[in-house]
Chain A
């Protein structure tokens, strides 16, 4: 049962168009990435800015199709934790929650069934029925996070964000997300913070110039990554 990996990348490369023009040059955001993800893994992704970490997440999510290499995935749902997807300013919080949920792959009845939970978690009260153009930044973050939390993929992909909002809500959203992460969900987590990677992950992969350089235990990978960074700086 545990034998086959959930997702397996072999020498995957992804190329983007540099400009919108016929025959415009392409650049390889991912050159050659190989990794395996097993059920229950909590994989951290480390690497410098522009190394291709976010592209890797979107490839895992199935948003980007690789231009070379192979990707094999078990039939599991795999989603990026995305905030405020498809939000429209003139719609109410309720309508935006439904629209966003549908865009994130939920069925209408699923998202309708979760509206009470969204309303409660976001603490928006009567504002839930108001257009989100009237919301403060903090209220917007509450709604966005509460909706995103309702999508419960089997593989959760997180790009930096572990919590949002003001101090109170940051505490609450962070706790909810950590509960999800440590509740057995398979997680891939991109972060620049060693502390967060150590806290969240049990394995790590190091990406450099679009290549997977090393995969292994968190401490071991972080140590090698920092050693290389220091060598490059010196």
Chain B
């Protein structure tokens, strides 16, 4: 049973990526062009127009956006997955968790692509590989668990509250600015800054920049707390999905 679900999830992920590639002229190239255009917009606004006095702004922005976009696409694609697959859920007996999982895996594949490119760019900028790289897989794993937990939660709720669709994009947008993706949180005054750093994504992006740009080990205390939050959210979401499973087929068409 478990093995079957793993086979189904992996093949459906392959199918999803393959179909996505076939849907456009440039196919896989979009996996790079889209984030690059995104990056160009923020660069234009914050570096050129607002003249952000951030040192190393380009690598700063690149690392932040790469880690952020991964989280964001997991939550928005994964979050829609059950709602979009309701017709299929009415037809076959399949654990609903498969559907957001497929989206999360597909977005993770695309992220790994971006990550490889990011490393090459950083190296050519002179940010050499260093010992702190050893902590990178852990930081990425925690982000994956956190993103999956968030995606499962949204995907579980969305079929019952379709109106969430109009809120999610806005919430993600605000969360992005609160996570120090496009500008540093260093300038935020202290009591507020402590609160900002409770945000798991802010901690993860900070850790990622520390490793990739400064050869700095993560703040283990903060990372530990984020790990606990991520695991708790994942467990809660899995439980919620299991409980709600019988109810999805009873929603109106």
Which residues of A are interface residues toward B (Cβ below 8 A)? 14-20, 22, 26, 58, 61-65, 80, 82, 85-86, 88-91, 95, 98-99, 102-105, 107-108, 131
Q: How far is the CB of B84 from chain A (nearest CB, A)?
A: 12
**In the complex, what residues of A have CB within 8 A of residue B8's CB?**
102-103
Given A91-B15, A108-B7, also A103-B252 (CB < 8 A) = no
Are B4 and A90 in contact, CB atoms less than 8 angstroms apart? no
Least CB separation from B250: chain A residue: A16
**In the complex, what residues of A have CB within 8 A of residue B7's CB?**
102, 107-108
Are B252 and A102 in contact, CB atoms less than 8 angstroms apart? no
Q: Give the dominant DSSP class at A's interface.
A: loop
Are B22 and A131 in contact, CB atoms less than 8 angstroms apart? yes
**In the complex, what residues of B have CB within 8 A of residue A85's CB?**
88, 91-92
**In the complex, what residues of B have CB within 8 A of residue A102's CB?**
4, 7-8, 11-12
Which residues of B are interface residues toward A (Cβ below 8 A)? 3-4, 7-8, 11-12, 15, 18-19, 22-23, 88, 90-94, 159-162, 246, 249-252
What separation, in Å, do the CA atoms of A105 and B92 have in the docked complex?
9
**In the complex, what residues of A have CB within 8 A of residue B160's CB?**
20, 22
**In the complex, what residues of B have CB within 8 A of residue A58's CB?**
90, 249
Are A15 and B250 in contact, CB atoms less than 8 angstroms apart? yes
Q: How far is the CB of B102 from chain A (nearest CB, A)?
A: 11
Q: How far is the CB of B168 from chain A (nearest CB, A)?
A: 17
Are A103 and B88 in contact, CB atoms less than 8 angstroms apart? yes
What separation, in Å, do the CA atoms of A137 and B103 have in the docked complex?
29
Given A20-B162, A64-B249, A86-B88, also A99-B18 (CB < 8 A) = no
Are A99 and B249 in contact, CB atoms less than 8 angstroms apart? no
What separation, in Å, do the CA atoms of A58 and B251 have in the docked complex?
14
Least CB separation from A24: chain B residue: B252
What separation, in Å, do the CA atoms of A98 and B162 have in the docked complex?
31
**In the complex, what residues of A have CB within 8 A of residue B22's CB?**
90-91, 131
**In the complex, what residues of A have CB within 8 A of residue B11's CB?**
98-99, 102, 108
Least CB separation from B23: chain A residue: A90
Q: How far is the CB of A29 from chain B (nearest CB, A)?
A: 9
Q: How far is the CB of B197 from chain A (nearest CB, A)?
A: 35
Known A80-B91, A105-B4, A105-B92; further 5 A-B contacts with Cβ < 8 A: A17-B252, A64-B246, A85-B92, A95-B18, A108-B7
What separation, in Å, do the CA atoms of A26 and B159 have in the docked complex?
16
**In the complex, what residues of B have CB within 8 A of residue A62's CB?**
93
Please, could you name 27 A-B residue pairs with CB atoms under 8 Å apart, sorted by A?
A14-B250, A15-B250, A16-B251, A17-B251, A17-B252, A19-B252, A26-B250, A63-B90, A63-B93, A80-B91, A85-B91, A86-B12, A86-B88, A90-B19, A90-B22, A91-B15, A91-B19, A99-B12, A99-B15, A102-B8, A103-B94, A104-B92, A105-B4, A107-B4, A108-B7, A108-B11, A131-B22
Are A18 and B93 in contact, CB atoms less than 8 angstroms apart? no
Partner of B93, one of A61, A90, A91: A61
**In the complex, what residues of B have CB within 8 A of residue A22's CB?**
160
Q: How far is the CB of B126 from chain A (nearest CB, A)?
A: 42
What separation, in Å, do the CA atoms of A98 and B10 have in the docked complex?
12
Given A20-B252, A64-B249, also A103-B18 (CB < 8 A) = no
Are A63 and B249 in contact, CB atoms less than 8 angstroms apart? yes
What separation, in Å, do the CA atoms of A102 and B102 have in the docked complex?
14
What separation, in Å, do the CA atoms of A108 and B7 have in the docked complex?
7
Least CB separation from A86: chain B residue: B88
Q: How far is the CB of B221 from chain A (nearest CB, A)?
A: 40
Least CB separation from A107: chain B residue: B4
Q: How far is the CB of B55 from chain A (nearest CB, A)?
A: 45
**In the complex, what residues of A have CB within 8 A of residue B12's CB?**
86, 99, 102
Are A18 and B91 in contact, CB atoms less than 8 angstroms apart? no
Are B23 and A63 in contact, CB atoms less than 8 angstroms apart? no
Q: How far is the CB of A99 from chain B (nearest CB, A)?
A: 5
